[in-house]
Amino acid sequence: MPINQRNHQSLHQNIQVLDICVRYLYIIIILYKYMGCCLLNKIETQLVNNILDALQCAKAAVSLLPQLPPNIKPVYFRILNAIYKLNHYTGRPRISDISKESGLLLPNTTKVINEMVELNILEKFTPDFDKRVVLVRATELGEQYIQKYIVSFIESLEKQLSRINEIECIIMIDTIYKVHQAIKTVYHEQEPEKDAIN
């Protein structure tokens, strides 16, 4: 069989396999949405209790995270994690680079970085090759935080979480936000009732 013909046949087979995969994925999405609707329409008290138990388990998991030093906000570690990654990608990062990597808005990133500079966790500097550019790096204290809270803990956690299917993680994240919104809605609905009782 000529090479071009074999390539064409192989491409055709790959397209067929891809088409089957897309069809199965479409069916899975429909089933997931249908089951979600059914659960919303026919949710039982026991299921609600199980959800609340799972939230307590999540709270217990968060309590196992390393204790943060005094005056240190959790958002600081998003910045340090971004700097740690960017140092491996591009070298010394700019504030705009840190903003993109951390997922924070640029004004918020600037504010947090200024707070960290005051706490001697970060420092700003201008490189010799371009005095117009302001770069950010961790101080000796900042490097200690990176080693303890990011390199040591986060990377170990990433290895453990990699054992969980990525789709399950995405569904879990989406579901947690939906459950939070549901509880928040019920809370606000019952606030007038509490005021009336008091």
SS (H, E, C) 41-67: HCCCHHHHHHHHHHHHHHHHHHHCCCC
Does a structural domain hold residue 100?
Answer: yes
82/94 Cα distance (integer angstroms): 11
User: What pLDDT is stored for residue 119 in this prediction?
Assistant: 94
Same domain, 36 and 84: no
In the chain, how many domains are there? 2
User: What pLDDT is stored for residue 180 in this prediction?
Assistant: 86
Does a structural domain hold residue 176?
Answer: no
Same domain, 38 and 83: no
Exposure string (b/e) for 84-111, b if CB count within 10 Å is 16 or more? bbbeeeeeebebebbbebbebeeeebee
Same domain, 81 and 141: yes
Q: What is the mean pLDDT of each run of 10 residues along the chain (198 residues)?
A: 46 51 54 52 72 85 79 88 86 89 92 95 86 88 90 82 86 87 84 58
User: What pLDDT is stored for residue 120 in this prediction?
Assistant: 94
User: What pLDDT is stored for residue 30 in this prediction?
Assistant: 52
User: What pLDDT is stored for residue 28 in this prediction?
Assistant: 53
Instruction: Please tell me whether the overall predicted TM-score, pTM, comes out greater than 0.85 for this model.
Output: no
Does a structural domain hold residue 190?
Answer: no
Same domain, 37 and 85: no
- Domain containing 5: what range? 1-42
Same domain, 79 and 137: yes
59/126 Cα distance (integer angstroms): 42
User: What pLDDT is stored for residue 38 in this prediction?
Assistant: 52
Does a structural domain hold residue 87?
Answer: yes
Does a structural domain hold residue 160?
Answer: no
User: What pLDDT is stored for residue 115 in this prediction?
Assistant: 95
